[in-house]
Amino acid sequence: MNWLGSLQQLGRAVMIPTMVLPAAAILLSAGSLPWGSWGLPGVSEALNVAGSGVLLYLPYIFAVGVALGLANQAGYAGLAALMGMTIYEQVIEHFASGQIQPTTLIGILLGAIAGALYNRFKDFKLPETIQFFGGSRFVLLFMGLLSALFAFAMLAVGPILQAIINWMSLEVEAMGGFGLFVYGILYRVLSAFGLHHLLNNVVWFQFGSFETASGTIVQGDLPRFFAGDPTAGVFMAGLFPIMMFALPATAMAVIHEAREDLKPKVRKTFVRAALVCLLTGVSEQIEFAFLFASPFLFALHSVLAGFAMWLTYALDIHHGFSYSAGLIDFVLNFHLSSNGWKLIPIGIIYGLGYYILFRWAIRKFQIPTPGREEGSMLEDWAGNIPYRAPLILQALGGRDNIVQVQACITRLRLTVANDRKIDGHALKSLGSAGLIRLGGGNVQVVFGTYSELIREEINKLIDRELDHVLFSSPVHGRMIQLEDVPDQIFAKKLVGDGVAFIPEKNELVSPVAGTVIHVYPTQHALGIRTNEKIDVLLHVGIDTSHLEGAFEAFIKEGDIVEPGQLLIRFDLPLLKEKAKSLATPMLITNPDRVRSWSFAPFKGVKKGQASVMSVVLYDKDTNSK
């Protein structure tokens, strides 16, 4: 794995423990309510202590979370990280008398060590007499020794490391608004690669120190904000105008510039995306709509986002969030903010500016945002995820191409054996907003907030040994439902079940691997038997059997064919003139073998595109579930 892929894995792992912060924010917000006037003064204290407790133990939470993220949720890795933090704190407390704080950075380091040890030694074998201490148990033993040595090393290195972080914090503070401007740009640029969590962790959890009334030292812009530090929140306030106003306005611009025939689907998708961004601050679904279509526009967006950080700093606005800069966090944490109300007029100005700018740019430069060309609309198909997962897996190169599949909030993070096997066009048709190749087999596929569900279904497919047959597109054109074929024999599935295509080019290729079992005399149709004994019928056009000379077959009965191999070339202009319809069915004529069906979206497809249809077969011997 190359260095960028390693950072991708670490970035995802660092994000996992931050998921506990909304709980702390809710507890602290609830604790600020006037419980005393309601006759329940103890409730307020209990809620505040509970919320503060989450922030106090963030180093432990980060250690466990990072270890779990790097070790694919392995419990032994999390336990090793927790033990490592316990040993570290005890050593530091005894020898440094509290002069070195157990920061989240230490938690991340110990979590990364625990995760790496687990991945390296989880299958470690010892002599049979002491094998009880081998494998995952060896990770605990090794981690105990290593964390003690790490703690002793930190007695010397810790003060130096803390001095470096303090120096960085002071340098950024000395830069004033310009430092925030640079941070805002880097945040947006790194978010395209899923690496922004690494930058944010330094800023949100390392920069600055604050001593609470109880004497506890809190570090980082985010914990300091929730601890009541009046100087905290400068690294978060400038994100609210972007998430709550600018990007939702961009979504509206995408909708209004869509083609009229595609506008209903675009509206449904991007209104939901705008609401998600407004409420929760999850913005990638909107940003990826123009990131690949117009990198220049994304660069301009990054600069404007940086300027928002500078502007909020200049206006002395302090606000923060536990999760992201959405309306929920804005309202929930408003009682801790300073001049937070100013974010509303700034956001309105930003929203209007983004809407006008993006509508103008999309129209002026003909930017192919969703709805201006056929492609993925990120449609609402959460209920179909189990059925589309086989197609997504095939588009990723198949089960054998997957080394590791993980997910964060909005994207799959994969390590594959060969990233050239990934079909980006097929992924787009299946709902992907973007594909990022990081090199070394590390890729990211943006599926929005469905990513975790997709990961679960893909892992199920990888773990199960199901008998799948995957079908590529036999033509370049448009896929339609079989019921839409203007012929009752096909539409009522009297011959078999499957899909159909409207070809736009004059070649028919094999959708599967198998053997040609029949070629009709006029060469307008043929049958293929797959290696799984599925019989497939391909029929070019409707009422075309009388069109002699319109077809040229490049195979014969008994030939072995592979997906994408040319089968028939036909006279497309003649078919348009003489045939009842260009509809070309692809049928399974023995559908009793099929247990379940999966179909890609019924829209434009390329010749040989994998996969447009997937079927799971009954057990070969029992023919039962």
Q: Which string of DSSP letters, residue by residue, matches 460-498?
A: HHHHS---EEEE--SSSEEEEEGGGSS-HHHHTTSS-EE
Where residue 530 falls among pLDDT bands split at 50, 70, 90? very high
The C-alpha atoms of residue 421 and residue 397 are separated, in whole angstroms, by 5
Q: Are 502 and 477 in contact (CB under 8 A)?
A: yes
Question: Is a pLDDT exceeding 60 seen at residue 380?
Answer: no
- Which strands sit side by side in the sheet containing 613-617, from one edge to the other? 468-471, 613-617, 594-599
Q: Which residue has the higher pLDDT, 368 or 320?
A: 320
Q: Are 393 and 579 in contact (CB under 8 A)?
A: no
Please state whether the peptide bond connecting residue 611 to the residue before it is cis, i.e. omega within 30 degrees of 0: yes
Which of helix, strand or coil describes residue 338? strand
Residue 277 among the catalytic residues: no
Amino acid 624: pLDDT: 41
Cβ neighbours of residue 83 under 8 Å, at least 6 residues apart? Answer: 140, 143, 144, 147
Amino acid 1: pLDDT: 46
Where residue 9 falls among pLDDT bands split at 50, 70, 90? confident
Which ranges of 176-262 does DSSP label H, i.e. alpha helix? 177-191, 196-205, 221-226, 234-237, 240-241, 247-256
Q: Which of 203-217, 253-267, 382-396, 489-503 has the lowest mean pLDDT?
A: 382-396
Q: If 0-12 CB within 10 Å is exposed, 13-18 middle and 19+ buried, where does residue 33 land?
A: middle
Where residue 621 falls among pLDDT bands split at 50, 70, 90? very low
Q: Which residue has the higher pLDDT, 592 or 387?
A: 592
Amino acid 97: pLDDT: 67
Amino acid 119: pLDDT: 87
The C-alpha atoms of residue 389 and residue 594 are separated, in whole angstroms, by 17
Return the amino acid letter for 572: L
Question: Is a pLDDT exceeding 50 seen at residue 382?
Answer: no
Kind of pairing between the strands at 497-503 and 477-481? antiparallel
Tens digit of each residue's pLDDT (9 = 90 or more) over 144-160: 999 999 988 888 887 88
The C-alpha atoms of residue 568 and residue 562 are separated, in whole angstroms, by 14
* Cα dihedral sign, 50-56-62-68: negative
115 bridge partner residues? none
Residue 61 vs residues 87, 102, 161: alpha-carbon distances, Å: 15, 12, 21
Annotate 498-531 with b (16+ C-beta within 10 A) or e (fewer): bbbbbbeebbbbbbbbbebeebeebbbbbbbbbe
Hey, what are 270's tokens? 């991007």
Question: Is a pLDDT exceeding 80 seen at residue 474?
Answer: yes
Amino acid 2: pLDDT: 59
Rounded to an integer, the average pLDDT of 421-437 is 81
Q: Are 392 and 424 in contact (CB under 8 A)?
A: no
Residue of 191, 410, 218 lying closest to 320 (CA atoms): 218
Kind of pairing between the strands at 217-219 and 209-211? antiparallel
CA atoms within 13 A on the CB side of 14: 22
Amino acid 184: pLDDT: 92
With vertex at residue 613, the alpha carbon angle to CA 609 and CA 615, rounded to the nearest 5 degrees, is 140
* Cα dihedral sign, 493-498-503-505: negative
Question: Is a pLDDT exceeding 80 seen at residue 379?
Answer: no
The C-alpha atoms of residue 614 and residue 612 are separated, in whole angstroms, by 7
Percentage above 90 pLDDT, the chain: 39
Where residue 432 falls among pLDDT bands split at 50, 70, 90? confident
The C-alpha atoms of residue 561 and residue 557 are separated, in whole angstroms, by 11
* Cα dihedral sign, 453-605-254-190: positive
Hey, what are 595's tokens? 């247990």
Q: Are 395 and 445 in contact (CB under 8 A)?
A: no
Hey, what are 252's tokens? 């509206």
Where residue 374 falls among pLDDT bands split at 50, 70, 90? low
Q: Which residue has the higher pLDDT, 375 or 519?
A: 519
Tens digit of each residue's pLDDT (9 = 90 or more) over 45-99: 898 889 888 888 888 999 999 999 888 788 899 999 999 999 998 888 888 765 5
Where residue 165 falls among pLDDT bands split at 50, 70, 90? confident
Residue of 453, 386, 416, 391 lying closest to 605 (CA atoms): 391
The C-alpha atoms of residue 319 and residue 283 are separated, in whole angstroms, by 19
Q: Which residue has the higher pLDDT, 321 or 293?
A: 321
The C-alpha atoms of residue 545 and residue 140 are separated, in whole angstroms, by 72
- Most confident range, picked from 97-111, 208-222, 240-254, 285-299: 240-254
The C-alpha atoms of residue 161 and residue 154 are separated, in whole angstroms, by 9
Question: Is a pLDDT exceeding 70 seen at residue 623?
Answer: no
Q: Residue 581 gets which letter from DSSP?
A: B
Question: Is a pLDDT exceeding 70 seen at residue 19?
Answer: yes
The C-alpha atoms of residue 343 and residue 332 are separated, in whole angstroms, by 15
Amino acid 381: pLDDT: 47
Catalytic residue among 190, 408, 414, 537: 408
Rounded to an integer, the average pLDDT of 519-533 is 93
Amino acid 376: pLDDT: 46
Amino acid 264: pLDDT: 84
Amino acid 513: pLDDT: 92
Cβ neighbours of residue 13 under 8 Å, at least 6 residues apart? Answer: 65, 66, 67, 68, 69, 70, 111, 112, 115
Amino acid 515: pLDDT: 95
Where residue 373 falls among pLDDT bands split at 50, 70, 90? low
Question: Is a pLDDT exceeding 60 seen at residue 610?
Answer: yes
Question: Is a pLDDT exceeding 50 seen at residue 230?
Answer: yes
Rounded to the nearest angstrom, the gap between the alpha carbon of residue 602 and the centroid of all alpha carbons in its chain is 24
Question: Is a pLDDT exceeding 70 seen at residue 30?
Answer: yes
Q: Which residue has the higher pLDDT, 196 or 81?
A: 81
Kind of pairing between the strands at 560-561 and 584-588? unpaired
Q: Are 147 and 88 in contact (CB under 8 A)?
A: yes
Amino acid 98: pLDDT: 56
Cβ neighbours of residue 63 under 8 Å, at least 6 residues apart? Answer: 81, 82, 84, 85, 106, 107, 108, 110, 111, 114
Mean pLDDT of the chain: 86
Question: Is a pLDDT exceeding 90 seen at residue 3?
Answer: no
Amino acid 100: pLDDT: 64
The C-alpha atoms of residue 97 and residue 499 are separated, in whole angstroms, by 72
Q: Which residue has the tokens 């995820």?
A: 385
Percentages of the chain per state (helix, strand, coil), in multiples of 5: 55, 15, 30
